[in-house]
Amino acid sequence: MEMQLNRRTFLGSAAATGTGSLLGMLGLTLSPAVARAQGRASSYRPSKLTTTICPYCAVGCGAVVACEEVDGKRVVTNIEGDPDHPINEGALCPKGASIRQLSDNEKRLKKVLYRAPGAEEFVEKDWGWAAKEIAKRIKKTRDESFTLKNAKGETVNRTTAIASVGSAALDNEECWLYQKFLRGIGLVYIEHQARI
């Protein structure tokens, strides 16, 4: 016979039978649940699988990236949680589950766009121009602001005129190289998206 439960009979049943029995009647259990992703091996069999770390936040979940050759180019066809990774054991949050969009996204900017001071329009520039322009501006600001010693006469070798915030799209190794570079030129204001 199908059991009809309203709020009154639910509370009465809970008191009379105990919560565990009631959950059993409802087909539920208090036993620890095993996450569905745990221990799950992917059934997807692409031409190449590579493990990586999700770049979006400080949790550092492991992911498996699948690639295929399409028209002579290697493209990312799937990214899913790494079941062997000790942090996430195969799970990814929605943000991590979408990291394929970092490599395959028609809205992603792939060219340098520059808007000069006072200009209204962006103009397309090449990467060589952009790299030289950034280097030139960093050097100028650093040269003008570099401090060898602080007010107590202690050696500091720093600039406080340049700061860095970034980046959500860098992996561990890229972050390590990037902060080495920043500290090497004297930056002390160094932040990362994961800490904000």
Give the footprint of ligand SF4 on this chain (CB under 6 A).
54, 56-57, 59-61, 88, 92-93, 95-96
Say if CB 189 and CB 75 are below 8 A apart.
Answer: no
CB of 172 to ligand SF4, least distance (A): 11
Q: Which two tokens stand for residue 192?
A: 């990362």
**Least gap, CB of 54 to ligand SF4 (angstroms):** 3
Choose between 14 and 102: whose C-beta lies nearer to ligand SF4.
102
- Smallest distance, ligand SF4 to C-beta of residue 182, A: 23
Cα separation values, 101 from 98, 104, 108, 186, Å: 6, 5, 9, 34
The amino acid at 116: A
Closer to ligand SF4 by CB, 22 or 54: give it: 54
Q: Closest CB to ligand SF4 among 14 and 49?
A: 49
Per DSSP, the chain holds a count of helices (H) and strands (E) of 5, 8
- Give the residue with the Cβ less far from ligand SF4, 104 or 171: 171
In the complex, least distance from residue 93 CB atom to ligand SF4, rounded to whole angstroms: 3
Closest separation between CB of residue 56 and ligand SF4, Å? 4
> What letter represents residue 181's amino acid?
F
C-beta closer to ligand SF4: residue 56 or 158 = 56
Q: Which residue is nearest to ligand SF4 (CB)?
A: 96
Amino acid letter, residue 69: E
Question: Alpha-carbon distance 103 to 54, whole Å?
Answer: 13
Decide if 82 contacts 97 (C-beta within 8 A): no
